[in-house]
Amino acid sequence: MAEDEDGLYRFLEKRNVPASLIDKMKEDKIDKDVVKMMSDVNLARYLPSHGDRIALMNYCISMGKSSDKRKKDLLVRLQKKLKLRREKAVQDQNQRKKNRATNVTNLRNLFFPNGVSMIGAISDFSFEIRDFRQEVLEDGMSVGRLYGETKLPLLKFYLATKYKVNDEEDDIVEVQTADKSDVQQDVQSADEIPLPEPFTFCESEVEVESIPTAVWDVSFTEQANDGEISSWSSRIISFRSEHNMNDCRLESEILDDTVPYEVDNASTSEEKMIMRLHRASILTEMIDYFMDEAIMEKSLDINIINNKGKEEKAVGVGVVKDAITEFWEKNYDDFTTGVNCKIPYLRHDMTDRKWTAVGRILVKGWFYCRYFPVMLCPSFLEHIIFDEVFSDVSENFFNYIPQIEKDTICKALKDFPSGTEFEELLDILANYNCRVCPTASNLRGILKEIADEELLQEPRFVSDCWREVCRPLRAEFHDVGAINACFKSLTITNKKVLKSLQFPETVSESYMEVKKYLKRFFSELSIDYLRKFSRFCTDGLHVRFVTFESDFAQRPIAHTCGNILELPCYDNYPQFRSQFLSILKSDVWDVDIV
């Protein structure tokens, strides 16, 4: 700015303007910008000569144009620099896109650093890239093509790993299925056939009983498969009981998740698996045990460590029932979604081997004590066992969603809403990724598609893991409606509990009052508390009245193996109800009746 003023004053000196007039302009701070805004009359006060005024005005205008030109030049240079930066950024972005295409092949290095991960070496697995439907991607499939086919705004891909088939196993199969002509040659190399190692399981704070190595007696005859053991027979899967159940007469009435237990004498010859479980981590520990397929051919002996770190005194059948029941109760909370109808939820820490172990627990529980997780969706189980669905998927979906959403949808099916009610319907459908605007004509079709997606397609990975494991259940549920009939019979109600109660023929007058208290209590009890009660008191429930020496020890006692409930004498119904509810509300169950 100072240089521009000096140039202005030098220009006036060259035109021989008196120094006094120039000094006056300096005092009044007259520069080129001020000159542009001055009129000829005002400028005449400083420059009396008309020619000097015209020359000065022209000089200031020309100086302004040169300044604008300089600014434009700076702007052009700045734009060129920004253009170069954008071109470089686009080039880098294109490079990153190329890297994305190669990152898929580097996933193995990401999950198997140095060729090893927590599940094994990279050489023990085969790898596949699967899409959001858990289907293997075809060779040459592009991301753009998938976007075009699925019409989804976001795609997810998964790296699937599978154990490679051992060549030695194939060799063993060939020996077992060899023709008679090849037997003589195979006998010479029979000693070289690798025998299975004894079962071992390594886990902190988990003990496994030592099992002697099985001795194979192999004989070659012309009869095919005479010595082959039929897989999944009920004898193989049944448990050995150390309790005599003949003392207790069991009724056929079924409560909740169990049916009468029948002792299989043939199971006494089976190998025994000793399982040491902690109540705080019974979910993960049972999954670890059942990851070994050999457990399906063994009887179970379970020791439970309570939350205080002490081993519970109970042994036998009741402990196994309790462990299976608690496993599924925690499984509902941690591994499933839904309200009254549960669907397995995919988790990053649940591999295919762990989901297969959960399926084995389901099968083992059914063949042992007829325990079945009735909270699982019938359509989901039918799809696993029969490879097709017989029940109404939409009806199961209504049991899957919360009651408030069910009421809104049912109301919309009868009378299609508008205004705020229509917005509520849109919010509910948006929770299940619905992108179609509902109308009175297409609402049922939308709900059917959502139900199929939530109940069958989302848990497809789990159903694939369970399908082969649950195949023996097909013979159990041979009828089309067998699963629904099973669910109906296993669902507990107040009426079923009251009908299952069996009292002594002759009791005193005081115990007659306790009998009335018990019936009244079960008539008022909610379904949730009935389920908790049926965990230890199931089948034909025998009620016995007992007397305790101390009032402090007075409490109800359930004998799980014999289905016996012992009750003391109570003065009034509120006292009876308070003590019973305090037990049912407790989150700590300690089985200590041997």
Tokens read off for 378 = 């019938």
Which of 436, 378, 427, 385 is closest to 404 using CA atoms? 427
* Phi/psi of residue 287, nearest 5 degrees: -65, -40
Q: Using CA atoms, how far apart are residues 129 and 160, in angstroms rounded to an integer?
A: 6
Tell me the β-bridge partners of 159: 129
Q: Which residues touch 537 (CB under 8 Å, ≥6 apart)?
A: 558, 560, 563, 565
**Active-site pick, 202, 369, 561, 569:** 561
Distance (Å) of CA 238 to CA 269, 295, 358: 11, 11, 17
Question: Residue 235 and residue 118: Cα distance in Å, rounded?
Answer: 36
CA 205 to chain centre: 27
Compute the distance between CA of residue 394 and CA of residue 422 in angstroms, rounded to an integer: 20
Give the three-class secondary structure for 121.
Answer: strand
Tell me if residue 341 is catalytic: no
Structure tokens at 68: 């604008």
Count Cα atoms within 13 angstroms, Cβ side, for 495.
Answer: 3
3-state DSSP assignment of residue 559: strand
Spatial distance between the Cα atoms of 489 and 353, rounded to a whole number of angstroms? 32
CA dist., res. 459 & res. 383, Å (int): 11
Residues in the chain: 594
The phi and psi torsions of 163 (rounded to 5 degrees) equal: -65, 135
Identify the DSSP state of 502: E
CB atoms within 10 A of CB 385: 21
Neighbours of 218 (CB within 10 A): 11
Q: What is the DSSP letter of 455?
A: I
Integer Rg of the chain from CA: 41
Cα angle 251-255-258, degrees, rounded to a multiple of 5? 90
Active site residues: 561
